[in-house]
Amino acid sequence: MNLEKLNVEKLSVATRDAIAKTLVAIQFFMLAAIAIVGITKVHAKAHTYLGMEIGLVALGLLIIASAGVALRPSLRISPIPKDNSPLIENGIYRRVRHPMYLGVILIGCGMAGYAYSWISWFLELVLIIDLNIKARFEDALLREIHPESMHYQMHVSRILPCMSGSCRTNCISQ
């Protein structure tokens, strides 16, 4: 299913809600599962990269906090935008459209690194895929309410911040 061209107008409210709840449930389940795998490693003798793992979690929390401040009038866990919420393009949202998802990915990476297990990295991969689908779904819903968001979506990267010219600079609609 190509979520970039998803016609959300044809989805019923119940279907939208079911998709949103499923994506959020997968997100929290993956984070919890990574944490549980990590708990089993608490007594491991060596955590060589503990500083980096703590740094990733701290950076993820900082990004989420920064996004929460910018998104305050529209903040919610669900990818379904609040009624009458404005399109947020300031603060951290000037660099990345879904910074909270970036923060969650970083937290998951820190926890998966701590767990040091192929299972934790597999769970992190599922988390990244889920958040990418969730971001695409949310973008489709935002285009429905805010047609001007197409320009924003063309010029600001989805989850990873733009790095020196990595974002599109032309304004030709496709």
In a domain, 93, yes or no: yes
In a domain, 98, yes or no: yes
pLDDT tens digit string along 115-126? 988 999 999 999
Q: What is the pLDDT of residue 165?
A: 53
**DSSP 3-state of 157:** strand
DSSP 8-state class, residue 45: S
pLDDT tens digit string along 56-114? 999 999 999 999 999 887 888 999 998 888 999 989 998 899 999 999 999 999 999 99
- Domain of residue 116, CATH code: 1.20.120.1630
In a domain, 115, yes or no: yes
- Burial class (CB within 10 angstroms; exposed 0-12, middle 13-18, buried 19+) of 51: exposed
Cα–Cα nearest to 101, from 93, 91, 111: 93
**DSSP 3-state of 156:** coil
Whether the model pTM is above 0.95:
no
pLDDT tens digit string along 1-31? 455 556 777 888 899 999 999 999 999 999 9
Give me the domain span that covers residue 66.
Answer: 11-155
How many structural domains compose the chain?
Answer: 1
- Separation CA 36–CA 53 (nearest Å): 16
In a domain, 23, yes or no: yes
